[in-house]
Structure 1
Amino acid sequence: MPAQPDACLAALAAAFPPAALLQGGAIPARNLQDTSYLPPETPLAVLRPDTPQGVAEAVRICARHGVAVVPQGGLTGLAGGAHPLAGAVMLSLERLAGIEEMDPAASTMTVRAGTPLEVIQRAADEAGFLVPLDLGARGSCQIGGNLGTNAGGNRVIRYGMAREMVLGLEYVLPDGTLVTSLNKMIKNNAGYDLKQLFIGSEGTLGIITRAVLRMQPKPGCVNAALCGMESYADVVALLGAARRGLGPMLSAFEVMWDDYWHEVTETVGVRAPLAGRHALYVLIEAQGLSEAVDGPRFQSWIESQFEAGPIGDAAVSQSMGDVAAFWAMRDACSEFGSRLGPHVAFDVGLPVARMDDFAKACKARLAERVPNAFSVYYGHIGDGNLHLVALSRGAAVQPMALISATVYETVRDFDGTISAEHGIGLLKKSYLGHTRSPQELALMRRLKAAMDPQGILNPGKVFDMEDKA
């Protein structure tokens, strides 16, 4: 049906208070773009409902008038999934925030979609539990967006992706129907597991309003080591040894290539916990129950690996301050925007055994095709997730299309995925065929057409409804 924007705005104004509906110059600058480096875009309006029923009513009104709806959370996404569209209503969930219930017996927490991740982490900690999802944007990102993109983070190797912590979900369908299924049971095989359709769908099939999160026992201790390694084969061997020797204690296995280490210590200025230079660096973290038991166990395991040969040098934590200092090396990538200038950041997945070969091939291809190419490599190797940053040094305008095409072509050649944890959004959708088969893409389009025949929710994100290949 033809869009009726004026009638839609009038209906929204009649249904919501003035503070909830922002138009024109009243729209905050933050709502005009996410962190994907796409230029700002002014939408038709920004609507900020504060109840699930309000979200449902907003979507019903927009659907009735043929106006697209783009959900927005903390706006920390890197793929353009929450980027505004001209003529669309941006549905911000920032006022739909708060923790509704803590259930210690079920080890669950019921939260509203606009609740910042850090608020959820803190509430779990105060109750003696752990919400294992952790991202660098924890203070700004919202749980609805985390679930909508199936966020990963630092501890996937132990706890899994965001979908692993969701027991129940409430969501609004493209016609405005509110579906409430706030299940708390781990075992519930009563029909289709419908929540999985919405986790990771980036707001294209429905808008998440509330969730029941499964909490984990709070660790009694955390130990870490930062290891210098001389070959990627040694890194893979150490990963296998960590899985066998540390078992469920292993909570993170991060790898940084030498080029990343150099930029962090020389350009960003982080003090290196290890002396000398190594080909690769591994950050290992283990969460245990008792420092008296698991601390010596971790120390003994590190010593055994040092004696066995794969570790060239190592610093082992003696305090939580040491653990934080080790993580500062890995988290320093957040400074690249201000220290390296404009660049292109990538989040890809690859077979663990081929990551070093990929890094070498990608660096070589970038050097061949991009003038003054520069790239660094690091990531959550224990779960198959590699990050890289690439740019053309000295370029007035970064050749983002050329850099992206080169990186994603290499990912395809190594049987990887163009997105491990950040989603597809706008920026990656033209490369989705590098990762998904024509049959998979056709099925995605069938699901979208069946659930959202008007194309109301987040149109143009993830994939186009028409095959443009």
Structure 2
Amino acid sequence: MESLLKAIEGIVGPANVLRGDDVAARRVDWMSGAPCRAAAILRPASTEELAAVMMKCHAAGQPVVTHGGLTGLVHGAEADADELVISLERMTAIEALDPVGGTLTAQAGAPLQAVQEAAMEAGMQFPLDLGARGSCTIGGNIATNAGGVRVIRYGMMRQQVLGLEAVLADGRVVSSMNRMLKNNAGFDLKQLFIGSEGTLGIITRAVLRLQPLQPVSQTALVACADFTALTGLLQHVRRTLGEQLSAFEVMWRSHYALLTEESCRHAPPLPSDFPFYALIESLGSDATESAQRFETAIESAFEAGLLSDAAVASSEQQRERLWAIREDIEGLLHHIAPRFAFDISLPIADMEDYVQALERAVSARWPEGRIVVFGHLGDGNLHVTVGTGHDDAETRRAVEALVYEPLAALGGSISAEHGIGIEKRDYLHLSRSPEEIALMRTLKQALDPKGLLNRHKVLPDIAE
């Protein structure tokens, strides 16, 4: 190990090979806050340096784990004491922006918020948006196929990537920096790396697709009397707002009441006795037209009996206050501790029955247990937090079984947007067929036959 690290120092410089306390001072993810246990952290400054590092690691049979913004929630960045971490924190450049072609080229370590701001300065927008925007990186967003709050309009991260560059396990560089929307020249190789969680290659650069800036937002928090009204409201705003609908975020009463009335973290804009709350937002370019269209959508929803109460933001400050209730994950985790958090997807029509069945199952086993639910309803994605009063491994496995196993019969997924990592690896068979898993193994074996990249994540290590 020491001779390998000395050789790598010759590539990235001694100051960019961190050891000892400098490693332990790093955290492996936002959720756990656990210290990094890797043998060292390597900080290349370019694709060329990373390729040279990976050639050395491949020759030595040295496994590595890639670190981006460390905002993941499935232990995808954990490294054992015999592994090395590749941190892309020095690869943050925004290399080019083409407003005519609608593209932005960035290194993988660039924070999402920096990309958003660069696009905005050019009169464009990069539409991916999530609460961790200030910390998460473009490479991590691509590696996990991030979702966020605007998927209903713009799609997942996969839809925002035109081209990318990646370093393979043996140091070879696959550069497919396509800048065109249409390119059917053979296999679309970038898709191999999008959502593969660093197990097939390390993403270093990307060409991102920009959208026209939509500077005018209209936002409302509404309350619904039942799930039928909630889903009817979703259909209604899709029809009345059309392409302007950018978010339809839903909070079960459990989430809304906890973060307003129970914890007093946020002033409740609406009473907390409704079963469902929806945060609706539209984006447009004409202030008068957008406001009139949004007002008509809300008023007609009232007339149709689809919503029972509403608070419409009349300023950016009010908008931020409404969104703060939905995005206060820190408050949620603080007031339900210990807890187990899940990111799942399932057909919208099955959500109410699924949540009710889960509530009954948790209550039957842990009478003092509780469940908090919110999510991107229009995308079929729910975030479920379960508190039982216990945080031991046996309880975790029991809760995981209650949450995950019903999804198989519903055609749902154990992961909607956070990936698999280590945490969900043993449940992958509930969402993927044996044939799909076998093909994943084939791809892993072809691109990383020694099993060096993010081993033990997503799939068991092929080399073992």
- Report the TM range for the smaller structure's normalisation: over 0.9
Shift of 1:465: 4.2
1:79 to 74, 77, 88: 74
Shift of 1:347: 0.5
Give the Cα separation in 2 of the matches to 1:296 and 1:156.
24
The 8 Å contact of residues 218 and 282 in structure 2, kept in 1 or not, is answered as yes
Give the Cα separation in 2 of the matches to 1:125 and 1:82.
31
1:285-315 deviation line (CA, Å, top 9, x unaligned)? 1111101111111101110110111111111
- Equivalent position of 1:272 in the other structure: 268
Aligned partner of residue 436 in structure 1, secondary structure: coil
Aligned partner of residue 71 in structure 2, secondary structure: coil
Give the alignment of 1:102-181 within 5 angstroms. Answer: 102-181=97-176
1:332-358 deviation line (CA, Å, top 9, x unaligned)? 233222232231111000101111111
Tell me whether 1:231 sits opposite 2:237 in the alignment. no
- Equivalent position of 2:8 in the other structure: 12
Tell me whether 1:444 sits opposite 2:440 in the alignment. yes
Give the Cα separation in 2 of the matches to 1:52 and 1:438.
35
Shift of 1:397: 4.8
Give the Cα separation in 1 of the matches to 2:146 and 2:310.
30
The 8 Å contact of residues 268 and 335 in structure 1, kept in 2 or not, is answered as no
Partner amino acid for 2:206?
Answer: A
Tell me whether 1:385 sits opposite 2:381 in the alignment. yes
Shift of 1:467: 12
Shift of 1:39: 4.8
Shift of 1:268: 5.0
Give the Cα separation in 2 of the matches to 1:380 and 1:368.
28
Which stretch has the larger CA shift, 122-131 or 367-376?
367-376
Tell me whether 1:407 sits opposite 2:408 in the alignment. no
- Equivalent position of 1:242 in the other structure: 237
Partner amino acid for 1:240?
Answer: Q
Aligned partner of residue 174 in structure 1, secondary structure: coil
Give the Cα separation in 2 of the matches to 1:41 and 1:371.
36
Partner amino acid for 2:81?
Answer: A
- Equivalent position of 1:94 in the other structure: 89
- Name stretches of at least 5 consecutive residues in structure 1 with no aligned partner: none
The 8 Å contact of residues 370 and 402 in structure 1, kept in 2 or not, is answered as no
Give the alignment of 1:45-444 within 5 angstroms. Answer: 45-265=40-260, 266-275=262-271, 277-370=273-366, 372-393=368-389, 395=390, 397=392, 399-444=395-440
Give the Cα separation in 2 of the matches to 1:458 and 1:198.
13
Partner amino acid for 1:235?
Answer: L
Give the Cα separation in 2 of the matches to 1:327 and 1:346.
21
Give the Cα separation in 2 of the matches to 1:166 and 1:345.
29
Equivalenced residues, count = 462
- Name stretches of at least 5 consecutive residues in structure 2 with no aligned partner: none
The 8 Å contact of residues 252 and 276 in structure 2, kept in 1 or not, is answered as yes
Shift of 1:466: 6.3
RMSD across aligned positions (CA): 1.7
Q: Percent identity?
A: 46
Which stretch has the larger CA shift, 301-310 or 459-468?
459-468
Give the Cα separation in 1 of the matches to 2:212 and 2:446.
40
User: Residue 55 and residue 281 in structure 1: after superposition, are their counterparts in 2 closer, same or farther (change >3 A)?
Assistant: same
Shift of 1:91: 0.2
1:135-188 deviation line (CA, Å, top 9, x unaligned)? 111111111001100000001000000011111101101110112221111011
1:306-337 deviation line (CA, Å, top 9, x unaligned)? 01111111112222222212211211233222
The 8 Å contact of residues 26 and 36 in structure 2, kept in 1 or not, is answered as no
Aligned partner of residue 410 in structure 1, secondary structure: helix
Give the Cα separation in 2 of the matches to 1:447 and 1:256.
39
Partner amino acid for 1:310?
Answer: L
Give the Cα separation in 1 of the matches to 2:62 and 2:206.
27
Shift of 1:274: 1.1
1:217-252 deviation line (CA, Å, top 9, x unaligned)? 111310011111011111111111111111110000
Shift of 1:396: 6.8
Detail structure 1 runs of 4+ shifted over 6 Å in the superposition.
none
Normalization by structure 1: what TM-score?
0.95
- Equivalent position of 2:451 in the other structure: 455
Give the Cα separation in 2 of the matches to 1:223 and 1:275.
21
Tell me whether 1:37 sits opposite 2:1 in the alignment. no
Shift of 1:276: 5.2
Aligned partner of residue 145 in structure 2, secondary structure: coil
The 8 Å contact of residues 391 and 403 in structure 1, kept in 2 or not, is answered as no
